[in-house]
Chain A
Amino acid sequence: KAGVTQTPRYLIKTRGQQVTLSCSPISGHRSVSWYQQTPGQGLQFLFEYFSETQRNKGNFPGRFSGRQFSNSRSEMNVSTLELGDSALYLCASTFQETQYFGPGTRLLVL
């Protein structure tokens, strides 16, 4: 089976812009979770989607949002980008209590 895929792999934006990242889970996996990884804060849970519904949410501001489509693909959106949003954004799909991570999207906000 193909692994979790994320697009794009790299992205450069400027402050105030918005960005949309995409994640395709492993075939058959219905849960997609998103994480932000920064050198200072480490890996932090953003949110999880299951059957097109947000099922769990971390402690991030409302500028961070997501959605899931009927084919389980997920997108996350960050509006009004700030310099501190520069990070590696990882998504993971879950099967039998085990998360499998994609390679991540590296976002740089200038």
Chain B
Amino acid sequence: GEDVEQSLFLSVREGDSSVINCTYTDSSSTYLYWYKQEPGAGLQLLTYIFSNMDMKQDQRLTVLLNKKDKHLSLRIADTQTGDSAIYFCAESVNQAGTALIFGKGTTLSVSS
């Protein structure tokens, strides 16, 4: 079945770039997403990429997609302490994007 894997923890210093990696298994996934979750909160959509794209940039966020290797990454430039949170990678298992398979999440810790 479909599976999404992420490393569990990343620690960076304020001002550095953070790169969170993710691998997925369903090659037919149409959309891939990055969500952020802060303690006690729901999921906040950060960005998403359509499967026929290689890269998407949105302010401090850059998403890279290697469809051949089924590898997705999220780069956060100039990481701030407010970026400390859990980041989830997700793939859509249907065209409508209404059923997502999530990774276990990567906890990003930013120190000043």
* Residues of B with C-beta under 8 A to A11: none
Residue from the set A44, A97, A103, A104 with the largest chain B CB neighbour count within 10 Å? A97
Least Cβ–Cβ distance between A19 and chain B, in angstroms: 19
Which residues 26-63 of B have a CB within 8 angstroms of A?
30-31, 33, 35, 41-45, 48
The answer for the CA separation of A50 and B94 in the assembled complex, in Å, is 14
**Total number of A-B contacts with CB less than 8 angstroms?**
62
Cβ contact within 8 Å between A33 and B98: yes
**Chain B residues closer than 8 Å to A97, beta-carbon distance:** 30-31, 48, 92, 95-97
Interface-lining segment among B13-21, B65-73, B76-84, B102-110:
B102-110
Q: Do the beta carbons of B105 and A42 come within 8 Å of each other?
A: yes
Measured CB to CB, the nearest residue on chain B to A104 is B42
Would you call B24 an interface residue if the criterion is a C-beta within 8 Å of the partner chain's C-beta atoms? no
Complexed CA–CA distance, A102 and B45 (Å): 11
Q: Is the CB of B100 within 8 A of A99?
A: yes
- The answer to whether the Cβ of A31 comes within 8 Å of any Cβ in the partner chain is yes
**A31-B96, A42-B104, A101-B43 given. 18 additional CB < 8 A pairs?**
A33-B98, A42-B103, A42-B105, A43-B88, A43-B90, A43-B102, A45-B100, A45-B101, A48-B99, A55-B98, A58-B99, A97-B31, A97-B48, A97-B92, A99-B33, A99-B100, A101-B42, A103-B41
